Amino acid sequence: QDLNAIELKDKLGINESAVRRHLNILEKRGFVRHYFKKAGRGRPKKKYTLTPEGRQLFPRQIGLLTTILIQKLKKRYNEEELEALMADVAKELEEFFPPPEGKGVEERLETLVNAFNEFGFFSSYSKENNFYFLECQNCVFGRAAKEIGSLLCNVHKKIIQNSVGTENIEQVESLLKGDKVCKYRITP
């Protein structure tokens, strides 16, 4: 329901100037937007509405739905069929992480880290001796990772292989196994 500052003040039980300050901050961050609505006589009323980004701040049950779907898939398909399905998923996701053409490993890793960070992985990379290490501090797959962890880890690995341009990638740490990060060793 779209409301003006006075209506929000009444609903929230705080003063109008505090409501306006909060609305100003929320609008600057892209969570609400305002518009003017003619209300009979007098000046139009300034109303506020949530943006799609603002709606994302509210609780969702997508994790529960995903978990149920995965449980149903596991009952219906054998391990080999699930692996084939997840390989298809990896192919679909690769369009978000296209391999940079004609770049070296470090440039490709830099591009991948930036894309992963936009996706929410909180990634970084480093070089030690002849190896590169890619670390991800967050698993964006959430509850789904607990249900089919190794399959999702393989999806993640395939995306890295495609983006970096090498098959020589080994996962050496895993959030699912209790490590503090997911860490991949990359041999160029």
Give the tens place of pLDDT for each residue, 131-163. Answer: 999 999 998 887 777 778 788 888 899 999 989
- DSSP tag of 98: P
| Segments making up each domain of the chain, as ranges | 5-55, 78-186
**Number of residues written out for the chain:** 188
- The packing angle between helices 143-164 and 62-76, to 10°, is 80
pLDDT of res. 15: 93
> What is the reported pLDDT for 90?
84
What confidence score (pLDDT) does residue 148 get? 80
Report the chain's mean pLDDT, rounded to a whole number.
Answer: 89
Residue 89 scores a pLDDT above 90: no
Residue 75: predicted pLDDT: 93
The reported pTM is 0.65
Residue 156, sorted as left (phi over 0), alpha (psi -120 to 50) or beta, turns out to be alpha
pLDDT digits (tens, 9 = 90+) for 32-80: 999 999 878 888 999 999 998 888 888 777 777 888 888 899 899 998 9
pLDDT for 95 equals: 82
> Interior CA angle at 41 toward 35 and 46, to 5°?
20
CATH superfamily, with its number, for domain 78-186: Trafficking protein particle complex subunit 3 (3.30.1380.20)
